[in-house]
Amino acid sequence: QVQLVESGGGLWQAGDSLRLSCAASGRSIITSMGWFRQAPGKERDFVAAISWDGTTTDYADTVKGRFTISRDNAKRMTYLQMNNLKPEDTAVYYCAARPGSQVKIRSTEYNYWGQGTQVTVSS
C-alpha cells in the first residue's frame, strides 16, 4: 500500500501563487503521480500528471501555463506549483499515485489517493 498526504491548501486571493505538496509513504514502488481537483457539486477533474522519472508531464487545458507539477523521488514528494490563481481554481485538490511509469489523466487509472486539501481562491 501507498499512503499519500497532501498539504499546502488554504485561503488565497486571485493572482496569488501556491505550492501544494504530496508526501508518499508505505510501500516503495515505481509510480506515476497525478493531481486532481473537485469543486463543490462537480466531478473530480484531472489537473496534472508526471511520469516516474519526471521527464513527461501533462496538464489540463485550464491550468496549462499556470501550474507546474514536479517530484523529488529521493524525498518521495510530489508538488504542484500554482501561479496566477483564479477563483475557478477553488476545489479540493487530491494527490494520486498509480503503479508504473507512464502519465495517465483518467482518475480510474490511479490506485492510491490522498485525503485532499482545500484550496479556496477569492476574487
Alpha carbon distance 43, 65 (integer Å) = 23
Whether residue 28 is predicted with pLDDT greater than 90 in this model: the reply is no
Amino acid in position 30: I
% of the chain with per-residue pLDDT over 90: 95
pLDDT recorded at residue 99: 94
Mean of all residue pLDDT scores within the chain? 96
CB 24 within 8 A of CB 30: no
